[in-house]
């Protein structure tokens, strides 16, 4: 069996996430990780493999714990309220994010994804998951009458994904409440059902499913 590990893998991943999240892939060295995780370089390589693998494990760990958790929490809610809760949570976190770390997934999307096909696919898959979450909310909300019928559910979901990315980028440079709230409030009002929905203003292909 051999000597048992002295560290908790989850705690080590938490620390690795913090390092990579704040400074990015290139700017974080193995020696930085040694400092932040508390274990030695050899242990890191034994447990996770090379630097890319460590980053990948950290990113997956972040995604499951942060994004996946948020999606799961919101999926249990009423569709329209789920979208609102999702964005209000993002908004609150972005404004109180004093280190301006933003979202590690978004950072990864511009940092490692364009260079490495593996990372790119991983990031794209999570983006798809977010789009699917929004699409599910919008579709259900359209059926229930709480979400506007003025646009196809697909386009509304894509719009929400785009707005989410935009908020996350701006929060890293200008974490200004008025700016971020202005973006989100407008988006939330956009998806809201309103009187004009009685007519088909923009039928478009693939409109209301079901």
Q: Are 138 and 191 in contact (CB under 8 A)?
A: yes
Q: Are 72 and 28 in contact (CB under 8 A)?
A: no
186 binds, among a copy of itself, DNA, none (CB under 5 to 8 A by kind): a copy of itself
Q: Residue 45 CB, nearest distance to DNA (Å)? A: 4
Indicate the residue among 64 and 115 with the shorter CB distance to a copy of itself.
115
125 binds, among DNA, a copy of itself, none (CB under 5 to 8 A by kind): none
Stretch that binds DNA, among 27-35, 61-69, 107-115, 196-204 (CB under 7 A): 27-35
Site string for a copy of itself, 117-156 (x = CB under 8 A): ---x--xx--x---x------------------xx--xxx
Q: Which residues contact 12 (CB under 8 A, 6 or more apart)?
A: 37, 38, 39, 47
How many helices (H) and strands (E) the chain has is answered by 10, 0
Q: Which residues contact 84 (CB under 8 A, 6 or more apart)?
A: 188
Q: Residue 181 CB, nearest distance to DNA (Å)? A: 38
Stretch that binds DNA, among 28-36, 73-81, 114-122, 127-135 (CB under 7 A): 28-36
Q: Angle 79-95/117-144 helices, nearest 10 degrees?
A: 130
Binding positions for a copy of itself, 26-85, rule CB under 8 A: 26-27
Of positions 14, 23, 24, 51, contacts DNA by CB under 7 A: 51
Q: How far apart, in whole angstroms, are the C-alpha atoms of residue 51 and residue 41?
A: 10
Q: How far apart, in whole angstroms, are the C-alpha atoms of residue 135 and residue 172?
A: 27
Binding positions for DNA, 93-112, rule CB under 7 A: none
- Both tokens assigned to 101: 């770390």
Q: Where do contacts with DNA occur on this chain (CB under 7 A)? A: 1-7, 28-32, 39-43, 45-47, 50-52
């Amino acid at each position: 069996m051999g000597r048992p590990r002295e560290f908790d893998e989850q705690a080590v991943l938490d620390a690795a996430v913090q390092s990579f999240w704040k400074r990015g892939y290139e700017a974080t060295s193995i020696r930085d990780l040694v400092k932040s995780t508390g274990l030695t370089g050899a242990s890191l390589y034994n447990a996770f493999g090379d630097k890319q693998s460590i980053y990948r494990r950290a990113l997956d760990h972040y995604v499951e714990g942060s994004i996946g958790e948020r999606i799961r929490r919101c999926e249990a809610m009423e569709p329209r309220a789920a979208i609102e809760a999702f964005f209000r949570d993002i908004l609150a976190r972005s404004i109180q994010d004093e280190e301006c770390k933003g979202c590690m997934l978004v950072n990864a999307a511009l940092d490692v994804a364009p260079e490495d096909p593996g990372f790119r696919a991983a990031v794209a898959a999570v983006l798809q998951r977010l789009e699917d979450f929004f699409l599910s909310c919008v579709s259900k909300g359209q059926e229930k009458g709480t979400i506007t019928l003025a646009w196809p559910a697909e386009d509304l979901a894509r719009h929400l994904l785009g707005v989410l990315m935009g908020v996350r980028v701006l929060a890293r440079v200008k974490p200004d409440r008025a700016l971020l709230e202005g973006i989100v409030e407008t988006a939330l009002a956009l998806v809201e059902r309103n009187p004009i929905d009685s007519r088909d203003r923009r039928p478009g292909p693939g409109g209301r499913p079901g």
